[in-house]
Amino acid sequence: MPGWKILRASGRFAELRSFQAALLIYDGTNMFCERFLIDRSAQHRHMTAHAARALHYLAWYALADDPQKLLSKARTSFEHLGGRYEGFLKQQGLSCWQHDDHESEVVCRRFTGVSDRDDRADFFAFTELSAEKFANTQVSLIRHASGLMHSISGRGKRRSAAPLACSSTTTGECCDTLLC
């Protein structure tokens, strides 16, 4: 693959599940754009920029004076990226998985099992997925990462009623735990 292969990061933030999800989303977005979008199109530029920004904000999260602001910016970047994927699906007349659909929950369970592997993008077989499955997988991963970030921002406070992305991966509480 080109120079955007999985980023190697140093520091404790790299072990956060939300950062691992952001890495996978970043890699997947670059692969998706390379396979299904016209190179250098506005859509291609916007999607890769949103993925890179979210990853950047999460990388700086642990060092920031105002980490909640960076989490908010990362979530916003993911929301925009998810909207781009959903727009692509609608434009192509393809179906969009809901957060509680079986396929979406399978993606989240699979991420939980491979989040600490260097070959996680290959494990999802991104190079073999159709545009519909690829985009929906990315949207599911974005929702999952947003749920993990929500759990970070809610620590020490009572969480709002906002739903977590993948109910099957939680048992009431979801925390962005460090990988062991």
Q: Where are the alpha helices (DSSP H) in 37-130?
A: 42-61, 67-91, 102-114, 120-123
pLDDT bin (cut points 50, 70, 90) of residue 6 is very low
For residues 52 and 58, the answer to whether their CB atoms sit within 8 Å is no
Question: Is 178 in a helix, a strand, or coil?
Answer: strand
For 97-149, the pLDDT digits (tens) are 998 899 988 888 887 766 556 666 566 778 888 999 999 999 999 998 888 88
pLDDT digits (tens, 9 = 90+) for 136-172: 999 999 998 888 888 776 653 323 333 333 433 333 3
Residue 167 DSSP class:
G
Predicted TM-score of the model (pTM): 0.76
